[in-house]
Amino acid sequence: MRKITACVLAGIIVTVGGASCALGAAPTTQPRERQPLLGGVMFPETSLGAKDPAAIILEPKGDKPEKFVMKWRADLNDAGFSVFLTHAPRDGWKGEDGIRLIREFDKYVAKGNAGGAWAIVRKVDLNRILIVTERNGGAAAISMIEKHPKRIAGAVMMSVSPWVHNDNTIKLWRPSKEAWSVPIWTAMPTNIKAGAPMLLLWRRIAAAKPKDALFTLDPRLELSDKEPGRGIAKWISAIAAGKKPTPGVDSQALQETRRYRDAAKQLLAAMQVARPADAGDHFTKAEGPMVLDVRAPDKWRRVVRGERKYDSDERPYVQVYLSPKPGSMLFARANAAKWSSTADKLLDQYERRLADGGFLAVRHSRWQAKGYSLQISSVLWPTRGKWHRWLILVGAGPGKKNSPAAPMVVVMDASDIPDVNTMAAAMKRLLPSVSVTWKGEPTKKSADR
């Protein structure tokens, strides 16, 4: 790595390790709104075109931000960026600092000329800016993306909490349509205490992303939160070249796919040959306008404490929780789920509900059988101080005319080695036995079907 001294914008040019650097005075103890945010600009040894792409590194707030800044400065210079360093405000980065940073950038890089007052003239593209920040600069980075999406060529955010502060309120960031056009690479650790809660928030955001969004969710399974996955090198090179980068791989999703690959195949095979489990008790549950009936497999019992209470705004509307043994890793839920024209769409709604909650759901297969839609998935989510995993077999039945709900059965096994034969037999008993009766008046929308 190159040896380099700190740089700030002014009128003298020196060369350090092959890179040009403008030097000047350090920030003063001025009022916060007058403290300069931009520091130095580090020019690349080789230009990629008539104008250099720009990269702005938001300096971490703390005693030792040098390691983060130096690592990224070197990598970005090598990729062809003119790298602009910054000074973290004394009280940390805020959303308004992102707007102020762009204004300073425009002032010093007038008309794309980063060296107008200097001995060396370098052209910098005002409309091709890459942002790099760790957790402290998240609010400023988000505001830059939202306010200047056409100028931000990409954003690398490490361990950033996706919260936005507006009028003394804190809300989860919901990127605007324009903001989703910005390529984003967000990396965070999967540490159960520090990283997992933040990862769930990002997964909730990702659940709403448009299909064409260039968004990379990069859970760090082994490396620190300051070291994104290897694929980011190609991603950054594409941005430097003025191209749209290919999103990176979700390493956590890839790991879960590999983990359950064989079990999912075995469960699919079991569904082709397994006989329905012997019939057990019949259960009926009525809540609100719904009546749910289900025939449990033999020796399976209803566990009321595992059921959700009726809520007209929640899905499922009515639920019966079944297990061969209370508290066991194997259980099932018979649901009266909101009906949306086809069983496939009902399963899609179930997947979306999991994603909206921050769960990682990986679909392994989906197929049709005797009018039902069935799917095998695995689900990962953190709770009670550890990561929990389920292998899930879910089946949806056809809905009835004028009824806003349809039957759906979810059989889950959270053990290390799922019992695929018992799961298959339970599903073959449960799904054909579930029925949903609507006691209330049908809605106009459902009556029109």
pLDDT band for position 430 (50/70/90)? very high
- pLDDT(147) > 90: yes
Query: Strand 301-302 vs strand 290-297: parallel, antiparallel, or unpaired?
Result: unpaired
Instruction: Provide CATH code, domain 254-447.
Output: 3.40.1000.10
Looking at residue 111, its pLDDT comes to: 53
Q: What separation in angstroms does the CA of 59 have from each of 6, 133, 134, 154, 247?
A: 12, 7, 8, 17, 25
The per-residue pLDDT for 128 is: 94
Mean pLDDT throughout 231-238? 95
**pLDDT band at 226, cuts 50/70/90?**
low
- pLDDT category at 440 given cuts 50, 70, 90 is confident
pLDDT at 81 over 90: yes
pLDDT in tens, 175-202: 999 999 999 999 998 988 888 999 999 9
Q: Output 167-172 pairs: Cβ under 8 A, ≥24 positions apart.
A: 172/201, 172/204, 172/205
Quote the DSSP letter at residue 34. Answer: G
Cβ-count burial 86-100 (b if 16+ within 10 Å, e if not): bbbbeeebbbebbeb
Share of the chain above pLDDT 90, in %: 65
Q: b or e along 40-54 (b: 16 or more beta carbons within 10 Å of the residue's beta carbon)?
A: bbbbbeeeeeebbbb
Average pLDDT score, the chain? 86
Mean pLDDT, residues 197-210: 95
pTM to 2 decimal places: 0.85
Specify the amino acid at residue 258. Answer: R
Contact 89, 35 (CB under 8 A): yes
Q: Which residue has the higher pLDDT, 395 or 11?
A: 395
Q: What is the pLDDT of residues 106-140, one digit of tens each?
A: 988 865 555 544 434 678 999 999 999 999 999 99
Predicted confidence at residue 360, as pLDDT, reads: 97
Spatial CA neighbour of 289 closest among 268, 310, 271: 310
Closest listed residue to residue 379, CA positions, set 370, 367, 387, 371: 387
**Local confidence band at 23 (pLDDT 50, 70, 90 cut-offs):** very low
Q: What's the CA gap between 112 and 106, in Å, rounded?
A: 8
Can you tell me which residue has the tokens 């019949």?
282
CB of 399 closer than 8 Å to CB of 426: no
Whether pLDDT at 290 is above 90: no
Average pLDDT over residues 422-445: 85
- Judge whether residue 227 has pLDDT over 90: no
**321: Cα separation from own chain's centroid:** 30
Tell me the pLDDT tens digit for each residue of 300-336: 999 998 898 887 777 678 999 999 988 899 999 999 9
The Cα 230–Cα 244 span in angstroms is 18
Residue 82 has pLDDT above 90, yes or no: yes
What is the CATH topology of the domain spanning 12-249? Rossmann fold (3.40.50)
Q: Which of 331, 324, 327, 330 is nearest to 415 (CA)?
A: 330
Res 399 pLDDT > 70:
yes
Q: Which residue has the higher pLDDT, 7 or 126?
A: 126
Helices 95-108/138-147 angle, 10° precision: 60
**Ranges of each domain in the chain:** 12-249, 254-447
Mean pLDDT on 426-449: 75
Model confidence over 248-282: pLDDT tens digits? 999 999 999 999 999 999 999 999 999 999 999 99
Give the residue among 258, 264, 276, 261 at the shortest CA–CA distance from 376. 264
Residue 52 has pLDDT above 80, yes or no: yes
The confidence score (pLDDT) of residue 7 equals 41
Taking residue 73's Cβ as centre, other Cβ atoms within 10 Å add up to: 25
Classify residue 187 as left (phi > 0), alpha (psi -120 to 50) or beta: beta
pLDDT of residue 445: 52
What are the tokens at 411? 């059989």
Q: Is the pLDDT confidence value at 15 over 70?
A: no
| Helix and strand element counts for the chain (H, E) | 9, 21
Q: Hey, CA dihedral for 41, 43, 49, 53, is it positive or negative?
A: negative
Render the burial of 396-405: b for 16+ CB within 10 Å, e for the rest.
Answer: bbebbeebbb
pLDDT of 20 strictly over 60 = no
10 Å CB burial of residue 275 (0-12, 13-18, 19+) is exposed
Quick one: CA dihedral 262, 263, 264, 267, positive or negative?
Answer: positive
